Amino acid sequence: MLAVRDLRVSFAGAPAALDGVDLDVSAGEIVALSGEPGSGKSALVSCVAGELTPVTGTITLDGRRLDPRRRAPAAGVAVVWQDLALCDSLDVAANLLLGRETHVRSEARFHAVAARELRELGIPIRDTAVAVSDLNLGERWLLALAMALGRRPRLLVVDELTASLGVLGTATVERLLAAAREAGTAILLVTRDVDQMFRIADRIVVLARGRIAAALDPKTSYRDDVAALLGEEAAIAHREAAALRRSRELQREFLSRLSHELRTPLTAIRGYATSLAAPDVTWDGDSQQRFLERIATESARLGRLVDDLLDFSAIESGVMRLQPDWCDLRLVIEAAVALLPDLWAAAVRICCDVDVPVIWADHDRLEQVFVNLLTNAFKHNGAAIHVTIEGRLSHENEVEISVADDGSGFPESLANNPFDANHRPQSRTAGAGLGLSITRGIVEAHGGSIALAPAAVGTRFSIRLPVEVAGATEEPETARLEGSAHA
């Protein structure tokens, strides 16, 4: 299909942009072209597109040699440039069918044809009469690709198309490119997204200083090797993209799991409020009070779920806001116990050694830690259990707090990773399944650690906290959570 031979490009006073490049792209093949800035990618694409005349070398398409001075894409070649080639003053239909208008007889038919093409491609632009200037960036990128595909090219050149797209836009582009490949189109995809290369490319070609540094098969190569060829900037981008994808996956999983929990209290609130507001029913005082109490209870539950969402998001993003001060550990624990129902609170015993010092911590956040652990213990075992909280100075600069119950014990299926929010059991009492994950995030934000400890009976969690963190001040600070995601 496309054959580039001994292509050389140079500019006055600068090293050769291309120095003897050979490249082939076959029909029904996606070749990912990559390289650091200045490697020669743009020069190669410009030569193929006819925008740049090489010093030497040949470019052939289907065995036909292309005129190097043509100054426009040859017949059968379509290019989607990174800076786009859209007419902002025209509407979507006029851009999409530009150069193909002669077979459309009426305005209504014109827009119907454009709408059908977008629909067949799966591009979510519904209004073909809207001006291109009113489209968002993602829609503009997709329209540019649709324009290129509408010409049914034998060779499609795509220049960093997904660099500014979100997850859904990128997925749409990759789906369209895969479909074009299946239809026999040869595709030259310029990209620095390493994961994208491995998702859709049949071959990866890396340029460096105007020459081909590597030609790799994604099936037998490694992502880190390609990232290393692209330099530190690409390696950082690769890691950031992977982290962003993981964060989005966690968000989708979390929202999917949380949706039912949010709908339940909302349904109850709506139902009781509708009953109270019904114009054709008069409720007695006891019924009204019962409805209002249930609305208040479900509202509080909804508030807790929203708080969990905010805390989980803060932890997943790697930043949790703390308001530290000197805290008496026993007072923090007593405040947490006071928030429990009376029956539960009566079953909690607090044993703190007299030599436990005050610690530099966020009182409210630590209180939340103990409320989460205590609530879990009673919810999953019932009110018949007893919980003992012990605090001691483990060594000069660290305190250890143990929260142990005499219940049925922690489920063996979860014991290997008790803080993983993505593998919580779905049960009537499980809630959103974020309590332990948030607990760990808060403890680690304080520079401490929490673990499920061995216990002869029931469940025991061990928390270790530093007495004073380095550089402690009385000003609010942000604790950053680095490393693995706290899920």
pLDDT digits (tens, 9 = 90+) for 396-412: 789 999 999 999 888 88
pLDDT, residue 323, reads 83
Query: And the tokens for 207?
Result: 């340029």
Confidence tier at 67 by pLDDT (50, 70, 90): confident
HSE toward the beta carbon, residue 337, CA cutoff 13 A = 20
CA distance 412 to 284: 50
- For residue 422, pLDDT over 90 is answered with no
Least confident of 106-120, 294-308, 444-458: 294-308
| pLDDT at residue 266, rounded to an integer | 80
* pLDDT on residue 411: 83
Q: What gap in Å lies between CA 400 and CA 453, rounded to an integer? A: 12
How far is residue 159's CA from residue 472's CA, in Å, rounded to a whole number?
50
Answer yes or no: are the C-beta atoms of 391 and 329 closer than 8 Å: yes
Q: pLDDT digits over 18-61, tens only?
A: 889 999 999 999 999 988 888 888 899 889 988 888 889 999 99
* Residue 439, pLDDT above cutoff 80: yes
> pTM of whole model > 0.85?
no
Q: Please compute the mean of the pLDDT values over residues 134-152 and round it to a whole number.
A: 87
Instruction: Say whether pLDDT at 475 is over 50.
Output: no
Distance of alpha carbon 337 from alpha carbon 30, whole angstroms: 62
pLDDT at 426: 44
If one compares 398 and 426, the residue with the highest pLDDT of the two is 398
pLDDT at 312: 65
Across residues 466-478, what is the average pLDDT?
Answer: 57
Question: Where does the pLDDT of residue 376 fall: very low under 50, low under 70, confident under 90, or very high at 90 and above?
Answer: confident
Is the confidence at residue 349, as pLDDT, over 90? yes
Give mean pLDDT, residues 266-294. Answer: 84
Q: Is the pLDDT of residue 470 over 60?
A: no
Q: At 155, phi and psi to the nearest 5?
A: -125, 125
What's the whole-number average pLDDT of the chain? 81
Beta-bridge partners for 462: 402, 451
In the prediction, which pLDDT does 90 show?
86
- Given a cut of 90, whether residue 484 has pLDDT beyond it is no
Which residues partner with 349 through β-bridges? 388
User: Which residue has tokens 């020069």?
Assistant: 43
Of 409, 404, 408, 393, give the one whose Cα is nearest residue 348.
404
**Axis-axis angle for helices 363-381, 435-445 (nearest 10):** 150
Predicted local confidence at residue 37, as pLDDT: 81
- All structural domains of the chain, each given as residue ranges with its CATH number in brackets, are 2-241 (3.40.50.300), 246-316 (1.10.287.130), 319-480 (3.30.565.10)
What is the predicted pLDDT for the residue at 33? 92
312 or 354: which leads in pLDDT: 354
**Per-residue pLDDT band at 70 (split at 50, 70, 90):** confident
**Of the ranges 78-82, 322-326, 430-434, which one carries the lowest mean pLDDT score?**
430-434
pLDDT at 435 over 60: yes
Q: For residue 487, what pLDDT band results from cuts at 50, 70 and 90? A: very low
Q: 334 versus 473: which is more confidently predicted? A: 334
End-to-end Cα separation, the chain, in angstroms? 48
Most confident of 171-185, 229-243, 261-275, 427-441: 171-185
Q: What is the mean pLDDT of residues 190-202?
A: 89
Nearest to 334 by CA among 380, 391, 392, 413: 391
